[in-house]
Structure 1
Amino acid sequence: MTDLILHHYPESPFSEKVRLMLGFKKLPWKSVHVPRIQPKPDVVALTGGYRRTPFLQVGADIYCDTALIGDVLEHVQPEPPIYPPHLKGVSRIFAQWADSTLFWTAMAYNIQPKSAATMFPNEAVAQAFLADRKAMRSNMTQLRPADATSAYRSYLRRIAHMADEHDFLFGAEPCVADFAAYHALWYTRHRAPVMADILQATPSLIEWMDRLAALGHGRPEPLSAEDAVTVASNAEPLPPGENLLVDSAFQDDHGIALGSRVSITAESFGTEATEGDLVAATRTHYSLSRTDPRAGTVHVHFPRIGYVLRKADPA
């Protein structure tokens, strides 16, 4: 199989989710560091517009969103599973809550004036980052810090009840629920340590976090962004049904035929559109074919849940 190339940056919480999944599966991977804020020319060359972090590249196939990346990693290395058969439904539903409600509550708590001073080297960098993220959540309502603090405390207690019972949230082994819940708390503990006192009321969660951190990050090797673009330009995207997404049957819920020119955007955060030709619309994902002067022809893949498919505006 072609190398797994993760495009990420060290401080990215969703990247930590994927890094731990790679560690759990003991997979080798190439590590490409991307900028935290715009401009991101190498990212856009591969994704066509999508700029959320991280994304996974395998040759000329680009997999967006950590929910879809989890599916890819499970296909590449089925054991140990992140979707155990007896937890497949509940773990995915919990992970979706953790990646949305829990995450945004945690981040509204984490990033406050008190912590921003320790997160960024200077005021200009802080303001640039906050302005970039504000633009990315243009149609989202952000919790006020006081409301986020109250909600975060409640969520931590509820997750701690689960950690009180088992080594991991749903049993003796980690699953996708653990990785999804962990990364927001990891940000509190490691990226905003001046805010981490909130974790002290739930010691079982700290022990659970230590067990997850001990999984490590697999076997990363550095790769430049330019070299990753070259990898794509020298490869051909795999046909639908032969890539690392197991389902390929067309499921038409939009009245949009395969081969149509379409755009895909996230429902909320990071709503920059990716435009291309629709080559797959299955039960679980969409795939677009697009051509870039540097990256060549690539297929960009998105999960159905959380993304909006539309016919592209006529030129």
Structure 2
Amino acid sequence: MADLILHHYTTSPFSEKVRLILGAKQLPWKSVFIPPIMPKPDVELLTGGYRKTPFLQIGADMYCDSALIADVLEHLQPEPTLYPEPEKGLSRILAQWADTTLFWAAMAWNLQPRGAAEVFAKAPPEAAKAFGEDRGKMSAGNMTRLRPADATSAYKSYLRRLSDMLDDRHYLLGEVPSITDFAAYHPLWYTRRIESVRTILDLTPAVVDWMDRMAAIGHGAPEKFSADEAIAVAKAATPHTMLTDSTFQDDHGIALGSAVTIRAESFGLEETSGTLVAATRTHYTLERSDERIGTVHVHFPRIGYVLKKTEA
């Protein structure tokens, strides 16, 4: 198996989700640290424009979005499974809720003024402004942000509901962690990192205990790797997807071989352009070529992404 190369940064919540999955599956991986805000020239070179964090590189294949990355890791190492029966469908649906609704409520709480002040306390004054401007460009006014007071109410309710799910079990859907646990954990993990806002977790002791169990999974043993080394790996490799479904599913009237763009629906609106080489029930794949990296394939999940044909 080719090396798993995770492009991430330390404080990225979605990166923590993937790092824990790698730890749970005891998969060896290489760690490439990337900037939290633009510019990200090496990221854009490898993905063609996608700039959200993290993305997973396997040779000349780039897997975007933590939901798709989880499917790739499940294929590579089926045990312990992220999607236990009979709650396989339920775990995916709840994970999508956690990655969106729960995440945005938590982050609005986390980065309220006192939380943001703590996060950027040791950074120069312009750092907070640059971060805010960067994240604003990622949504381009396309999202409704919760105000801190509304986020407080929502976040408290969601924590109570998670606590209710833990009344008689160690994890959210049973006695072993599923994709629901990894998705629900990472925004709460970010809360716990910020002393001035983490007291909200004290309202739900069962959730705190569950978080301790999740944290104990760990990240495995990552090996430090550089962006230049990752680019060299891509250049030397031939794309070979780890995704198992391959049947063409045409929901857009766009034929394989067409020039297309793909972008996220609501956050991270930068487009990736290339040639559509796969459109299956679960994912899209674009082929791109560049002198520095050769030919690569960039993979996206269908859910949450917009496919458009490039007009001539």
Q: What's the TM-score bracket when you normalise by the shorter of the two chains?
A: over 0.9
Residues 156-199 of structure 1, C-alpha deviation per residue, up to 9 Å, x if partnerless? 00011112221100110000000000000000001x22100100
Q: Which amino acid aligns with 2:230?
A: A
3-state secondary structure, aligned to 2:11 = coil
Q: Which amino acid aligns with 1:136?
A: M
Matched residue, 1:4: 4
Residues 23-70 of structure 1, C-alpha deviation per residue, up to 9 Å, x if partnerless? 110110000000000000000010000000000000000000000000
Give, in whole Å, the separation in 1 of the partners of 2:48 and 2:168: 45
| Residue 137 (structure 1) shift | 1.4
Counterparts in 2 of 1:103-114, with a 5 A limit?
103-114=103-114
Aligned: 1:180 with 2:183: yes
Aligned: 1:227 with 2:225: no
Give, in whole Å, the separation in 2 of the partners of 1:237 and 1:219: 26
TM-score, normalised via structure 2 length = 0.98
Matched residue, 1:205: 207
**Contact residue 46 and residue 292 of structure 1 kept, 8 A:** no
- Greater CA drift, 162-171 or 259-268: 162-171
**Contact residue 5 and residue 31 of structure 1 kept, 8 A:** yes
Give, in whole Å, the separation in 2 of the partners of 1:247 and 1:193: 44
Give, in whole Å, the separation in 1 of the partners of 2:151 and 2:125: 24
Give, in whole Å, the separation in 2 of the partners of 1:32 and 1:266: 23
Matched residue, 1:258: 256
Consecutive unaligned residues of structure 1, counting only runs of 5 or more, are: none
Q: Which amino acid aligns with 1:189?
A: R
Consecutive unaligned residues of structure 2, counting only runs of 5 or more, are: none
**Contact residue 7 and residue 33 of structure 1 kept, 8 A:** yes
3-state secondary structure, aligned to 1:63 = strand
Counterparts in 2 of 1:7-156, with a 5 A limit?
7-120=7-120, 121-138=123-140, 139-156=142-159
| Residue 134 (structure 1) shift | 1.0
Matched residue, 1:303: 301
3-state secondary structure, aligned to 2:197 = helix
Q: Which amino acid aligns with 2:308?
A: R
Give, in whole Å, the separation in 1 of the partners of 2:114 and 2:82: 36
Task: State which of 288, 291, 309 in structure 2 corresponds to 1:290.
Answer: 288
3-state secondary structure, aligned to 1:147 = helix
| Residue 76 (structure 1) shift | 0.4
**Contact residue 55 and residue 69 of structure 1 kept, 8 A:** yes
Give, in whole Å, the separation in 2 of the partners of 1:200 and 1:122: 31
| Residue 117 (structure 1) shift | 1.8
Runs of 4+ residues deviating >2 angstroms:
none
Residues 267-298 of structure 1, C-alpha deviation per residue, up to 9 Å, x if partnerless? 00001000000000001000000012321110
| Residue 86 (structure 1) shift | 1.3
Give, in whole Å, the separation in 1 of the partners of 2:185 and 2:284: 27
Give, in whole Å, the separation in 2 of the partners of 1:298 and 1:210: 39
| Residue 115 (structure 1) shift | 1.4
Give, in whole Å, the separation in 2 of the partners of 1:126 and 1:112: 12
Give, in whole Å, the separation in 2 of the partners of 1:3 and 1:155: 37
Aligned: 1:237 with 2:235: no
Q: Which amino acid aligns with 1:277?
A: T
- Greater CA drift, 126-135 or 56-65: 126-135
Give, in whole Å, the separation in 1 of the partners of 2:311 and 2:11: 36
How well do the aligned residues superpose, as a CA RMSD in angstroms?
0.7
TM-score, normalised via structure 1 length = 0.97
